[in-house]
């Protein structure tokens, strides 16, 4: 468990909070590209690290991300007119390009010269893997942008769903690295079956084990850590282990073990101290992967059905996340549709910032302990002037650091398999 001070150091990201300042040194996902797909599209609200922003695409197709409040009188640019090469504030007609430069001041006399002197706060952006990425830190420390680990090539098949969650970023992330919970919480969607490896269908994700208490082993790395959840397989249990290796890369990247069709990647991006945005990507670099709508249907994250147009859940704490007690009596373990919604119900019910000083952790919580230890160590080192961990990781590193799942002989050490490139799902 953590002290109250350590809990604050881990979870707080707004203003001068050290964790938020460290995260500003990374390229961060701001929104889905589909949210600003067309030139002169509707502006989109973005909230990152406690900062209110607005994303848009200008008439030439260039994306932009700038502070939501107009520098003139602080009116919201979210309501602005996106046209003719810039975003124009409705209040007095001030207009800004994607770089933040003021282009026109309808309220000022011609020849005043003020327009050329005004530059609004705007952040650099890049597009890759279906997401708009931004860097919010000091310009002198901006790292070179790298393609994300889940999209090593522009042709990589990537399907992403996005959900806003009412709890801090660490709570959301800890759900993604907690391998032990999947055998209980997700047992309906991820049932045990007599299969050789994890097998995905349109309605379930079968796994070759009934073991609900995995043995956990971890190894720290320069980018974060990797850990193995080792279970008894249904077949050949006397001679083999079923091993699922998950990788965590700072600050919030999780490489979840794949199935036969696609790899899985999760990010828990801090919106502010008490909210985070979950992006879960199904990707394949060697096959068709999974269709976007099929992925969102399987996860219970379809826009207009499971989520509203702003990616907020329609099933939430106010209606018990749509929990169906009759379905539980008939065989559903949770009565809650979609494994992300099952996770969210557990995470949000802890409160916006869980009190980690009053927990009783067990052997199956090894990954949780490692995550907290590594990130608290990293942010303390950052406060002393050290660079954040994992800045040099690129998509080319995935074969060496990525996740995998396999039935291996008991005589083998899962660490020796790290030398074998984890293969992207080929379908």
Residues 324-343 have a mean pLDDT of: 91
Confidence of residue 261 (pLDDT cuts 50, 70, 90): confident
pLDDT value at 419 more than 60: no
For domain 157-419, the question of CATH label 3.90.380 is answered with: yes
Residues 341-353 have a mean pLDDT of: 93
CA trace torsion 337, 343, 348, 349 (10° rounding)? 80
Confidence of residue 426 (pLDDT cuts 50, 70, 90): very low
- The 3-state secondary structure of 349-405, one letter per residue: CCCCCCCHHHCCCCHHHHHHHHHHHHHHHHHHHHHCCCCCCCCCCCHHHHHHHCCEE
pLDDT value at 427 more than 70: no
DSSP 211: -
pLDDT at 418: 59
pLDDT at 182: 81
How many Å apart are CA 40 and CA 33, to the nearest integer?
14
pLDDT at 80: 97
pLDDT value at 99 more than 80: yes
Contact (CB, 8 A) for 292 and 37: no
Query: Residue 215 is encoded by which pair of tokens?
Result: 């043995």
pLDDT tens track for 353-374: 999 999 899 898 999 999 999 9
CA 41 to chain centroid, in Å, comes to 25
Question: Looking at domain 27-141, which of 1.20.1730.10, 2.60.120.260, 1.20.1300.10, 2.102.10.10 is its CATH number?
Answer: 2.102.10.10
At a CB cut-off of 8 Å and minimum separation 6, what does 196 contact? 208, 235, 407
Q: Would you kindly state where each structural domain of the chain is located, as residue ranges?
A: 27-141, 157-419
Q: Which of 73-77, 214-218, 410-414 has the highest mean pLDDT?
A: 73-77
How many Å apart are CA 291 and CA 235, to the nearest integer?
32
Confidence of residue 281 (pLDDT cuts 50, 70, 90): very high
Residues 157-185 have a mean pLDDT of: 92
User: Helix 339-348 to helix 169-177 angle, to the nearest 10 degrees?
Assistant: 130
pLDDT tens track for 79-98: 999 999 999 999 999 999 99
pLDDT at 273: 98
pLDDT value at 188 more than 50: yes
Q: Which residue has the higher pLDDT, 131 or 290?
A: 131
pLDDT at 260: 86
How many Å apart are CA 25 and CA 131, to the nearest integer?
18
Instruction: From 321, 214, 197, 309, select the one nearest 259 (Cα to Cα).
Output: 197
Residues 277-300 have a mean pLDDT of: 89
* Full-model pTM: 0.93
Residues 203-214 have a mean pLDDT of: 85
Residues 253-268 have a mean pLDDT of: 93
How many Å apart are CA 209 and CA 405, to the nearest integer?
12
Mean pLDDT across the chain:
92
How many Å apart are CA 182 and CA 211, to the nearest integer?
11
Confidence of residue 204 (pLDDT cuts 50, 70, 90): confident
Pairing of strands 215-220, 263-272: unpaired
Percent share of the chain, pLDDT over 90? 75
pLDDT at 187: 84
């Amino acid at each position: 468990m953590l002290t109250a001070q350590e809990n604050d150091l881990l979870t707080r990201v707004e203003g001068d909070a050290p964790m938020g300042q460290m995260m500003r040194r990374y390229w961060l996902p701001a929104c889905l590209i589909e949210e600003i797909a067309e030139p002169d599209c509707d502006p989109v609200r973005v909230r990152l690290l406690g900062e209110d922003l607005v994303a848009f695409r200008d008439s030439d197709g260039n994306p932009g991300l700038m502070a939501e409040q107009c520098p003139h009188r602080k009116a919201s640019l979210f309501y602005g007119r996106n046209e003719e090469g810039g975003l124009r504030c409705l209040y007095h007609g001030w207009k800004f390009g994607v770089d933040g430069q003021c282009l026109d001041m309808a309220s000022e006399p011609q020849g005043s010269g003020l327009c050329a002197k005004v530059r609004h706060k705007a952040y650099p952006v890049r597009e890759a893997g279906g997401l708009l990425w931004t860097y919010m830190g000091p310009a002198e420390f901006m790292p070179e942008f790298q393609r994300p680990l889940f999209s090593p090539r522009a042709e990589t098949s990537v399907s992403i769903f996005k959900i806003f969650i009412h709890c801090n970023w660490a709570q959301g992330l800890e759900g993604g690295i907690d391998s032990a919970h999947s055998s209980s919480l997700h047992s309906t969607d991820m049932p045990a079956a007599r299969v050789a490896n994890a097998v995905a269908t349109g309605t379930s994700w079968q796994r070759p084990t009934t073991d609900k208490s995995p043995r956990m082993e971890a190894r720290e790395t320069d980018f974060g850590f990797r850990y193995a959840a080792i279970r008894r397989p249904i077949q050949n249990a006397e001679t083999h282990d079923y091993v699922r290796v998950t990788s965590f890369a700072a600050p919030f990247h999780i490489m979840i073990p794949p199935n036969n069709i696609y790899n899985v990647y999760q990010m828990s991006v801090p919106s502010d101290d008490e909210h985070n945005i979950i992006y879960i990507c199904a990707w394949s670099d060697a096959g068709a992967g999974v269709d976007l709508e099929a992925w969102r249907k399987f996860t219970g994250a379809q826009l207009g059905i499971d989520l509203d147009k702003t990616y907020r859940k329609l099933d939430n704490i106010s209606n018990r996340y749509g929990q169906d007690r009759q379905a539980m009596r008939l065989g559903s373990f949770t009565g809650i549709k979609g494994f992300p919604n099952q996770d969210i119900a557990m995470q949000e019910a802890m409160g916006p910032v869980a009190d980690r000083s009053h927990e009783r952790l067990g052997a199956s919580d090894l990954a949780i302990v490692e995550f907290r230890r590594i990130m608290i160590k990293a942010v303390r080192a950052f406060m002393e002037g050290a660079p954040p961990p994992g800045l040099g990781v690129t998509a080319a590193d995935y074969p060496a650091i990525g996740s995998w799942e396999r039935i291996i002989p008991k005589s083998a050490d899962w660490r020796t398999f790290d030398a074998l490139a984890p293969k992207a799902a080929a379908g």
